[in-house]
Each structure stands twice: as C-alpha cells, then as structure tokens.
Amino acid sequence: MDLGDSVLDHLRQVAALPDLAGTHYELECEIGRGGMGVVYAARDRELDRRVALKVLEVALAGEAQLIAKLEHPAVVPIYEAGTLPDGRAFYAMKLVTGLRLDGYVAGLASLAKRLEVIRRVGEALAFAHARGFIHRDLKPQNVMVGEFGEVYVMDWGVDAVAGTPGFRAPDARLDRRSDIYALGGLLQFLLPVPPPPALQAIAAKAMSADPAARYSDVAAFLLDMERFQEGLAVEAWAEPWWHRLRRYGARNAVLLWLLAAYAAVKFLLFFLRNL
C-alpha cells in the first residue's frame, strides 16, 4: 500500500515531536521554530502552569546555562534544563504571552512606548555586558512585549549565530559594539516616518560602520536617548541653530509665555496711559 505525501508529512511531523516521557511536561503545541530548535507550549504537571519548552536540534553549548546566569527582568527566566529520551537537549522557561516586536510596532504604539521598549532592551544588554555576555543576534524577532508592557529579550548568546542581515555589524567581530550596532538597528526599526532627526542621528551613530565611531557602551546610547526625551541636545547630532532655538522654546514654553505676558502688560499700561 502506498502512502500519500500528506500522510508521510504528517508522520514526519509526529516523529519530530519531542518525547517528553520521564519529564513532568505535557506537550501542547508548537509556537515557534528557528534554525537552532523548536519552541513548544507545554504544561508543567507538577506546578500546574504553562511553560515554553525549547528543544534544541543542535547541541548548543551552554545556551541554557548562559541565560540562567542572566537574572534580569528583561531576560526570560529558565526553570529547568535537561536531555530528552531521544537525546535532544531541552530547557523549560517562562511562557511569554504577548507580541514580537515587529507585531507590536504594527499596532501603532506611540513613540514614547517604542522608546521605552528600546530602553528596556538596552538595560538588559548593559546588564549582560557588565557580566561579560553579548547577545550576538539582537533583532525584532528576538524581542517580545508582554500584554502588560513587559519586555523580554530572547535567544541569548547562541554560538552558532553571528547576527541577522540588517542588524549585523559589517565588521567581523562579535563584541559589545556589535550588540550596540544591533540596538541601533532596533531603534531604526522602531522609528516612525518621518523620524525625529535626533533619534535618527542616535541610530546612525550606533550603526556606524566604524566600531570606534559607535557609542562606547550601551549606557552612553541610553543617555543620549534620555536627553532626547528630556528635550536636551543629544551627543549624536550637531543640530542647526534654528532647531536649537525651537527646542529651547518648547522646553521653556511656560516661562516664555509668562515673560511675553509681562511685556504685553507693560506695553498695554504704557499705551493706555498715553491715550
């Protein structure tokens, strides 16, 4: 009896499903697939909660251990790591419900909310860099925004990956500055059209082809973003005089209106006196 192609495909899919015998997890469904493995939603029978299970197709040395060392609000916590009966490695982590960053942006989030996401990602990067870790593959698909606005950076430090086009630095090195390049790419990705010139300049500085021309660290990048949000001049942009004047006016609008009111009152009183 010949089996049809659709039946064979179904059998292949079933055969590829992880064998969770001997674990306390029940498979629910596949929720994501990448070059390094597949992520499933599963239920932890012992704690009666849903988790994400990442089953690795390739033996990636220490990915789970690396993520477990990064205890930060923007890094998905690892619950458990182990080996399946079929020999594949897996790790269980928090199941994040929300949107990938590309989907979040499509939902017309405000500029303030977009910059907040960048800030949270930057803080996670700064935290990791301070502990000697780099991400290597920061991109919108590796950032999740939860239903309450919480931000998670996923897929840390995978040795076999050296970035994604558009977010991969042109220089061959993988270090903090390549992460900063990717962070600039993320900012560029989130900018509205037309982008504020100062933010465009910050993204461009972070994405300089010359690593030495980029921000020296994530903190400098975040500081420039903070300066933009406070209406101050940013390091990345030599703004023209008329823009500096407009920014000063916007930042001191109340004071300027009060001074104008004083001048108007004085002029009016002098004018009325002479009538």
Partner 1 sequence: MTMNKILAGVLLGLVLGALDGGTAWFYPEARPLITGILVGSSFKGMVVGLLSAWFARKVQSTAWGITVGAGLGLLFAFLVAANDTLNGRHPYLEIMVPGFVVGAIIGFVTQRVGTPGTAVKEQ
Alpha-carbon gap, residue 47 to 141, rounded angstroms: 29
Note if 137 is an active site residue: yes
Alpha-carbon gap, residue 56 to 71, rounded angstroms: 22
258 binds partner 1 (CB under 8 A): yes
Q: Where are the alpha helices (DSSP H) in the chain?
A: 5-16, 63-69, 101-106, 111-130, 176-190, 197-206, 218-229, 241-251, 253-273
Q: Which is nearer to partner 1, 213 or 256 (CB)?
A: 256
Per-residue x/- track, 204-243, partner 1 (CB under 8 A): ----------------------------------------
Beta bridge partners of 50: 43
The active-site residue out of 2, 9, 19, 137 is: 137
Give which of 65, 44, 45 is closest to 53, Cα–Cα. Answer: 44
12 binds partner 1 (CB under 8 A): no
Q: What's the N-to-C CA distance of the chain in angstroms?
A: 111
45 binds partner 1 (CB under 8 A): no
> Which of 15, 193, 254, 275 is close enough to bind partner 1 by CB under 8 A?
254
| Least Cβ distance, residue 254 to partner 1 (angstroms) | 6
| Least Cβ distance, residue 229 to partner 1 (angstroms) | 18
266 binds partner 1 (CB under 8 A): yes
Give which of 193, 160, 189, 164 is closest to 178, Cα–Cα. Answer: 164
Please identify, among the stretches 17-25, 32-40, 79-87, 266-274, the one whose residues bind partner 1 according to the rule CB under 8 A: 266-274
> Which of 8, 17, 61, 261 is close enough to bind partner 1 by CB under 8 A?
261
Angle between the 218-229 and 111-130 helix axes, to the nearest 10 degrees? Answer: 160
> Residues with catalytic annotation?
137
